[in-house]
């Protein structure tokens, strides 16, 4: 039971947007679709909503064909990354618009309106016009409109991307609260941000250039990225990937950095591989190797440093706000016990390091399953 997408292809103006998608989605819970811009996330959501013609393939719900059901009969809700509200209607009329279309009676409409506007803190704004609200409030109105009606499927297309940092943090938490126990509907959340997937938990679908790269539980995808693409897309900053070679019981990375073979890589055959390491597992160390700084930036409560490792970029993330000069060298070392190994050509996962908590200390506080 649930949704089944089979051999789905979507071409728009002869350009492939989705290629041979096969996916099974449950009837309830949260699914995060993660991928870079133009990976095909929006197209996939539109197919689920019934807004996108497909070139070939099937979409079923509980084994019944869904492609022939038009959007207006599908019982879906959708929130766009732009704040889409009806400009000619007040906030109140915006929210109850779907209820009026469903011809609910006045009492039922009032009840649902009260519930949703309280849930999203919109009570004070009901008589205003959407254009008189801030971006965050506008997006809340759009969200309210998609939550107010009974739906089987709620689609959110990067709903936070156009909001400022603080609002984003705040709404993320709200989403978590709203969707945590989604037992009566499936929430599909498209995003470019791994942090949002982490907060929502649930299933993760990694999409890249129109193809599904990996499907799995959130923590599994984090710990065992199936390919280098998953590893990059599902980490922020993207996981460092460097070519290297195992020889004589040592790892030689980027022709200049030599590391002793850690325990979990002991059984690997010598040869060429792609090595992956998260930015936070590249640590500052006085006695370590050194490399020149390209750029350093503060990202929230941590500092990210881009290093030039013999012509390849290596990113280091360290807790706290630090100031590195524009130029100069940094001494660092790799936490070899956290190294991922991918096959040299295809980029498929060969060995992953043993599991640790998802987000370190922060992840534990947020309650890990």
Could you tell me where the DSSP H helices lie in the chain?
41-49, 91-101, 106-119, 135-147, 165-179, 194-200, 218-223, 228-233, 360-365
What minimum distance in Å lies between the beta carbon of 51 and another protein?
A: 5
Q: Which residue has the tokens 């959130």?
A: 218
Residues that bind another protein (CB under 8 A): 46, 49-54, 67-68, 70-74, 76-78, 80, 82, 84, 86-88, 97-98, 101-102, 142, 145-146, 149
Based on CB atoms, which residue is closest to another protein, 85 or 228? 85
Cβ–Cβ < 8 Å for 337, 264: yes
Cβ–Cβ < 8 Å for 279, 242: no
Based on CB atoms, which residue is closest to another protein, 99 or 239? 99
Based on CB atoms, which residue is closest to another protein, 67 or 352? 67
Based on CB atoms, which residue is closest to another protein, 153 or 246? 153
> Of 22, 33, 19, which Cα lies nearest the Cα of 207?
33
What minimum distance in Å lies between the beta carbon of 77 and another protein?
A: 7
Based on CB atoms, which residue is closest to another protein, 71 or 295? 71
- Cα 286 from Cα 271, distance rounded (Å): 30
Taking CA atoms, 294 is separated from 173, 255, 257, 322, in Å, by 34, 19, 18, 15
Based on CB atoms, which residue is closest to another protein, 70 or 354? 70
Residue 107, class by beta-carbon neighbours within 10 Å (0-12 exposed, 13-18 middle, 19+ buried)? exposed
Q: Which residue has the tokens 């205003």?
A: 128
> Strands 76-79 and 153-157: what pairing?
parallel
Based on CB atoms, which residue is closest to another protein, 49 or 294? 49
What minimum distance in Å lies between the beta carbon of 303 and another protein?
A: 36
Based on CB atoms, which residue is closest to another protein, 27 or 82? 82
- Cα 102 from Cα 220, distance rounded (Å): 41
What minimum distance in Å lies between the beta carbon of 98 and another protein?
A: 4
What minimum distance in Å lies between the beta carbon of 128 and another protein?
A: 17
What minimum distance in Å lies between the beta carbon of 299 and another protein?
A: 31
Q: What size, in residues, is the chain?
A: 369
- Cα 364 from Cα 11, distance rounded (Å): 43
- Tokens representing 295 are 């750029």
Cis ω before 237 (30° cut-off from 0): yes
What minimum distance in Å lies between the beta carbon of 49 and another protein?
A: 6
What minimum distance in Å lies between the beta carbon of 54 and another protein?
A: 8
């Amino acid at each position: 039971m649930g949704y089944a997408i089979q051999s789905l292809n979507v071409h728009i103006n002869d350009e492939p947007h989705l290629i041979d998608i096969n996916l099974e989605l449950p009837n309830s819970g949260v699914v995060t679709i993660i991928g870079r811009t133009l990976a095909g996330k929006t197209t996939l959501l539109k197919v689920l909503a019934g807004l996108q013609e497909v070139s070939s393939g099937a979409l079923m719900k509980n084994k019944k064909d869904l492609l022939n059901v038009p959007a207006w009969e599908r019982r879906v809700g959708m929130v766009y990354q732009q704040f889409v509200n009806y400009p000619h209607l007040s906030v109140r009329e915006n929210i109850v618009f779907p209820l009026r279309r469903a011809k609910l009676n006045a009492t039922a409409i009032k009840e649902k309106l009260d519930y949703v506007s309280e849930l999203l803190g919109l009570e004070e704004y009901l008589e205003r016009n959407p254009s008189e609200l801030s971006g965050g409030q506008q997006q809340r109105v759009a969200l309210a409109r998609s939550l107010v009606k009974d739906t089987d499927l709620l689609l959110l297309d990067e709903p936070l991307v156009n909001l400022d940092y603080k609002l984003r943090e705040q709404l993320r938490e709200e989403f978590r609260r709203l969707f945590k126990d989604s037992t009566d509907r499936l929430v599909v959340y498209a995003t470019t941000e791994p942090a949002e997937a982490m907060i929502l938990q649930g299933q993760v679908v990694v999409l890249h250039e129109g193809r599904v790269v990996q499907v799995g539980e959130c923590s599994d995808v984090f710990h065992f990225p199936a390919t280098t693409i998953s590893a990059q897309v599902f980490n922020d900053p993207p996981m460092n990937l460097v070519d290297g070679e195992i020889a004589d019981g040592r790892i030689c990375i980027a022709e200049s950095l030599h590391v002793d073979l850690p325990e979990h890589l002991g059984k690997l055959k010598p040869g060429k591989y792609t090595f992956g390491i998260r930015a936070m597992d590249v640590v500052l160390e006085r006695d370590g190797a050194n490399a020149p700084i390209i750029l350093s930036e503060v990202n929230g409560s941590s500092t990210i440093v881009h290093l030039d490792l013999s012509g390849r970029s290596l990113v280091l993330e360290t807790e706290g706000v630090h100031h590195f000069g524009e130029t100069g060298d940094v001494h660092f070392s790799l936490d070899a016990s956290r190294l991922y190994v991918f096959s040299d050509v295809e980029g498929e996962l060969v060995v992953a390091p043993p599991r640790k908590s998802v987000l370190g200390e922060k992840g534990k506080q947020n309650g890990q399953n």
